[in-house]
Structure 1
């Protein structure tokens, strides 16, 4: 079984600045920690997704991940970007275009004000992403999904990858929640746009690390019905989705029962998605490999000098 993990993070607070890390997240999760991850597959590659450094470190994060890429199987980078900053956005995308591993960007919208994704400045920046042939990773709350559907309608050529199924409320294994009518409606509306893909990722984190396959199956079924299997791709969301109650055999479990790193979480999520796909008769190789390569155009990456045609080039005739 070959695996392309479409949503992997690494971070190191000693190298880069993050304002959101706290509790069990506030430590290094990088090359050494990933090397100890027990994911079992014949071949494992990954797409790194920006880990929400401060914006001044977006380019530094790309350079750092590039230094790890060959050893850790990183075949693409989804870089951090702020798409609503006009000429600053243009300059940043131009610089990203000099890094051949960059296959997309993510402006993390989940903490932004409603409506930003449809502002004229944001739409202009998103159009530039589309012009470069890059993807736009969409990290939003469930109630922001209608804005993303409108953005897809405004820029139909923009290939978007929805992270974490749009972050629906899923409850926990002991207190599961069913998909809401509103979330299903908004997912179906977004899926009408053929350039939008959906990652099977992040649900363990939405459950606080207390999840079961039975609990999450209705959400997987809903996105399969909406997008079709050909637009779904598996992602681990490591290590964000590897934090929760200590596993039974963890010799380092906190005495107070607080959340901690779950060493087998990435493998368990992979196993859950594979078991679901097998039961439904879905194409496992497409979910774990082929669809991600298509979504991020990994088979037709171009050298850096052929993609440096951003705002600046058009504005100044270069």
Structure 2
């Protein structure tokens, strides 16, 4: 049977149109990437049906321009849109947003930001609106994330890139176990470095199979690995598990379940 895939974390951009300051030191990624480019990677695998994926904000200098570009992009392969805002009780919520991300992993973000009361109140508002929050954090701040998110267990949180775990040190494991105990927290098995199978196995035990989801992180995955290597590893670790490759993303982001 053909494996149906929903990619829970993808980016598209055009440096000729958008200013992405973080690409300044990454010439390998200073190209135009479209959803059709990604679809071609999946099409090369004849036993896979790419249903589409979740667009995640690209830390652009002008998020309002990003809002417009995503509004104008009518590709049916963009199933949901996670847009950027600064989380607070009075945050700007793009009308096209199906979820929100505030990059917490960048140098400009103050440490401890996730524990600020305004941030937590913003998460409560997102929960009331039914909008998930994508968490992209510094790996060494996982203890802060666990303490803060325990105060807002009602919010659906999707942890990007395996929480950027620096390794299987005791502090990281303890924090991820605490996050795994929260009822509405999911984890994307993705990243721009090759994924460590030992970390994946630990995360699977901590969260259970119903809250892990496949994500390519394309095209950033091409920096230190490749789309093909990552996808091949995911199938080696998860087989053709429909929950991992499709259904868990549907549950987390409210995507209509495809019918066979």
Structure whose CA Rg is larger: 1
* Alignment partner, residue 164 of structure 1: 161
CA contact (8 A) 1:145 1:190 kept: no
Structure 2 length normalisation: TM-score? 0.88
Q: Which residue of 2 aligns with 1:247?
A: none
Give how far 1:228 is off: 0.2
Q: 2:117 aligns with which of 115, 120, 138?
A: 120
* Cα distance per residue 1:253-291 (max 9 Å; x no partner): xxxxxxxxx7xx22321221111123xxxx710000000
Is 1:48–1:78's contact at 8 Å kept on the other side of the alignment? Answer: yes
Q: Deviations over 1:199-241 (max 9, x none)?
A: 0010xx23xxxx4x7xx21011010000001000000000111
Is the contact between residue 9 and residue 49 of structure 1 (CA under 8 Å) also seen in structure 2?
yes
| Contact 2:82-2:98 at 8 Å conserved across structures | yes
Secondary structure in structure 1 of the residue aligned to 2:23: coil
70, 78, 85: which is aligned to 2:82? Answer: 78
Match of 1:14 in 2: 16
Displacement of 1:67 in angstroms is 3.1
Q: RMSD in angstroms over aligned alpha carbons?
A: 2.0
Give runs of ≥4 in structure 1 deviating > 4 Å.
none
Matches for 1:214-233 after TM superposition, within 5 Å: 216-233=196-213
SS in 1 for 2:98: strand
Residue 187 of structure 2 is aligned to residue 198 of structure 1: yes
Indicate whether 1:266 and 2:227 are aligned: yes
* Shift in Å, 1:109: 0.6
How far 1:14 sits from its partner (Å)? 1.8
Equivalent residue number for residue 251 of structure 2 = 294
Q: 1:52 aligns with which of 29, 39, 59?
A: 59
For structure 1, the residue ranges without an aligned partner over 5 or more in a row are: 170-177, 245-261, 301-318
Counterpart of 2:33? 29
Give, in whole Å, the separation in 1 of the partners of 2:4 and 2:81: 19
Q: Residue 168 of structure 2: which of 176, 179, 182 is its match?
A: 179
Unpaired stretches in structure 2, ≥5 consecutive residues: none
User: TM-score when scaled to structure 1?
Assistant: 0.73
Shift in Å, 1:197: 0.5
